[in-house]
Amino acid sequence: MKVILFIIFPLVLTVPVEKEDADFENLPAEPKSRFAMLDDVRILANGLLQLGHGLKDFVHKTKGQINEIFQKLTTFDQSFDVLAKQTNEIKEKEEELKETTSKLQVNNEELKNISMQIHSQMENLLQDKSQLQNKVGRLEEKMTQIAEGNQEGSDLKDVAMLKNFVEEQGINIRRLLKIVQEQHVQLDHQNGQIKDLEDKLISAGNHENLKTSSTGHVIPRPTVYRPQNITDPTAHDNDKPRDCTDIYNRGERSSGVYAITPNGSAEFNVYCEVTSDNAWTVIQKRLDGSVDFNQTWEEYSNGFGDLVGEFWLGLAKIYTLAQQADYILHIELQDWKENKRYVEYAFSLGNEDSRYALQLSQVSGNIPSALPERNPLPFSTSEDNSWDLKCPGEPTSGGWWGTTCPGTNLNAKYNKAKSRAKLERRRSHGLYWKPEKGRMYSLRSTKIMLYRTDMEHFD
């Protein structure tokens, strides 16, 4: 505004000079020329004023646009920082995925080696069993000849040698069974690790950026090795399950009552105890004393009780199961303090003519064995007068395998009160577990189960 006044002021000063010259020439023209000049000045001033306002608006508008550009640049910088952090995280996860993949490959190799070792041990075990079967046959022939009085003294030495060989083979079989069981535990542990690694791989694979490395190469997903099922020599043509192992292999994952058809047997129901990795066929269960186990030989042969509560499956049914394949006999015990123990045996079970004689060989457990091993144990009941195994002072005891009194009897009278259990224990009566050496365990519950090992059975 000061500039405009400065320009106008000289123009005003020049006007009188022009007027002074004009007075001598033509006095009437003076008023018109003065007003015309003022109008021009006003027009010029207004134009300059509008131009100033326009420049001011343009400056404000340009300043706002510059601020918007700075804001966009700041937002872009922040986004770039976030993107850089995400890129670093992706690279770190990519490295973790590579390490996980390497571990999984190592575990697969270990699993392959363990599976091959198991197959080798199984083959050796089957060969030993075949040899043992032949030796047992020869031993039975020689024993028959001895019984008939036709055997010479020199052959008695052979019988003793055969007996020693059989005992050595029995020790070897128990050792191999224990090794197989330990390797099964290792396999379960390896399978758990593989499942964890697979879950990590699946969660990482959900992000597309994790599928390729920084060089653009695809990271290979390792093929998980799973041992193939051992061919079951006892497989039969029909599609009915033979035991709870078949029930599990068909996809059942809930414990309960199922119908099975063992080889050479009619269909009957059993209770299957299903775990995460296998299924057990339950043959006996004691819980609360709701079922009286002081039953006759016929009842013990056919079975009694409730499959979802306390029951005895039946000697005839147990025999049909034991004859179709090799099984592990698993005994689970619980005392009155809720402590649980178990013991497992390799076993053989005779037919009814042998009174279902049971022969045991312990393979594992966390409690000492309380059942005689290696010697056949015939089954007897309290009312069975033809078999002199009844224990004096225990007329209400349930049927059981044994040759001595008193002895462990998991079908004995149930003691419902703990104080009563202590009294009965002092009398060596009731439900208890008494190893040859060590303390006696008064029991609150018992469970006896079978698990098929899928090994070739004796014929």
At CA 177, angle to CA 175 and CA 178, rounded to 5? 65
Residue 280 has pLDDT above 60, yes or no: yes
Q: Is the dihedral of CA 386, 391, 393, 397 positive or negative?
A: negative
What is the rounded average pLDDT for all residues in the chain?
76
Please tell me the distance from the alpha carbon of residue 438 to that of residue 14, in angstroms, as a whole number.
Answer: 138
pLDDT band for position 386 (50/70/90)? very low
Domain ranges of the chain: 2-81, 106-210, 244-452
pLDDT given for residue 214 in this prediction: 39
CATH top class, domain 244-452: alpha beta
pLDDT band for position 126 (50/70/90)? confident
Residue 212 has pLDDT above 60, yes or no: no
Poorest-confidence range of 112-121, 206-215, 331-340, 389-398?
Answer: 206-215
pLDDT band for position 195 (50/70/90)? low
User: Which is more confident, 394 or 308?
Assistant: 308
pLDDT given for residue 116 in this prediction: 78
Residues 6+ apart with CB under 8 A from 410: 284, 286, 331, 400, 431, 433, 443, 446, 448
Rounded to an integer, the average pLDDT of 409-429 is 66
